[in-house]
Amino acid sequence: MWNSGSSHPKLRQTSHTDFASYTGVEAIFAGVDACLFCLGKSATQVSGEVEYRRITIDFARAAALALREQSPHAAFHYVSGAGAGLNSRFMWARVKAEAERDLMQRVDAVCWRPAAIDGKASASEPVLLRIVRPVYRLFRPFRSIYVSGDDIGLAMLQAIHENVRGRIIENAELRDMADRYRASAGARDLRTIGSR
């Protein structure tokens, strides 16, 4: 498991290698309000559909079911992708849509469909993404196309606050939710200061 290098009293990091099963580490899902499941790989980085389905569907399902077992009322948030669709001609889009359908049926998941994600470079990202990322920033004004990695996280936190469940959230709405989080975070900070 990747280590963020961060520390916080509420942050727990667990080393785990079999994402198809959480046997032995189920307790990591106990007593939580939500799981933000962001694990995935580009279809261009796998050997084919079997491996892509295992990572995209099986890994997410295992985490969702472990969460449901340990924290029955917790929300499960799944990062899918813009363009996901059961009838798509693209394998990745069909598999993502299957994962969404399965997770919404099983655990009332919130499925996020970000479009062009801008963020920090990663050694594991596809080479093409590394090349085109600077171009993404030209699309920042277009709310249905561009999103920052930070926006995804903030939108998920806002969705938890709003108790959103069992639906798909497209890129433009994702950005709206991130904006609402930023606005409400300022209000929360003022309330916290006022209560001291």
Quick one: tokens of 30? 């106990």
Q: pLDDT category, 96, cuts 50, 70, 90?
A: very high
Distances 58 to 12, 64, 119, 171, 183 between C-alpha atoms, Å: 23, 10, 26, 24, 36
Q: With b meaning 16 or more CB within 10 Å and e meaning fewer, what string describes 148-174? A: beebbebbbbbbbeeebeeebbebebb
User: What would the pLDDT profile of 110-135 be if each residue is shown by its tens digit?
Assistant: 999 999 888 777 777 777 777 877 77
Give yes or no for residue 108 having a pLDDT over 80.
yes
Nearest by Cα to 165 from 79, 77, 93, 90? 77
Instruction: Say how far apart CA 143 and CA 145 lie, in whole Å.
Output: 6
Nearest by Cα to 49 from 114, 111, 96? 96
> pTM of the full predicted structure?
0.86
User: What would the pLDDT profile of 56-68 be if each residue is shown by its tens digit?
Assistant: 999 999 999 999 9
User: What would the pLDDT profile of 9-46 be if each residue is shown by its tens digit?
Assistant: 877 788 888 999 999 999 999 999 999 999 999 898 99
The pLDDT > 90 percentage for the chain reads 70
